[in-house]
Chains A and B, each alone.
Chain A
């Protein structure tokens, strides 16, 4: 009964490839997020979706495209992977997008060779 789950946990791939990371939450939350944690462990928001609609899109290259097929899922697709995309990507969810606690998934460690 994992609250926020991500797959895969580890992803190693070559530069130029296209890959996807999946996220699912079973908490019944309306809002989901993607964060990137870089090599210095700094966490930064990438995207936020509320009820399947994009709310936030920070300065993220358009090679990154989130897809929300329903409220419980927010997948992250990355085209033409670059070395600098190597990081840990965290999915999170919350009941709403302002006042509630955010619950995080276990993270996906992406390594681009």
Chain B
């Protein structure tokens, strides 16, 4: 059964720092991997989606990488801002399962 783990569970950084969030998954038979952001009391906002054939995706200050064979993905956030404070969730869309398996999230706090 697919298991998705995110490390660290929580992270605090000063404004302006670059940071990396990690996601690992146990079954590499996936269609894609998606990174989401969740603000307190809100729904999920899709940040980046990487198809299984891709190695990375970029959107603004965000860069997500995927190493399917080793079951790992990273989300790189450049020049962090207080507005980046949120919980970041990674989710894998497993082949044959047709739904997303979520990690437990990393709660990011960017200190002004």
Contacts and interface: CB of A to CB of B under 8 A. Distances in A.
Interface stretch (B13-21, B61-69, B74-82, B99-107): B99-107
B31 A98 contact: yes
A45 B51 contact: no
B95 to A, nearest CB: 8
B107 to A, nearest CB: 9
Given A99-B51, A101-B49, A42 B102 contact: yes
A90 B44 contact: yes
Interface string B23-67: 000000001101010000011111001010000000000000000
A45 B101 CA distance: 8
Interface residues of B, number: 23
Contact of B99 (A56, A90, A107): A56
Interface string A18-56: 000000000000000101000011111100100000011
Given A106-B42, A107-B42, A101 B102 contact: no
Contacts of A41: 87, 104-105
B46 A103 contact: yes
Interface of A: 4, 33, 35, 40-45, 48, 55-56, 58, 90, 92, 97-99, 101-107
Given A98-B93, A106-B43, 6 more contacts: A43-B100, A99-B31, A99-B32, A101-B34, A104-B43, A106-B42
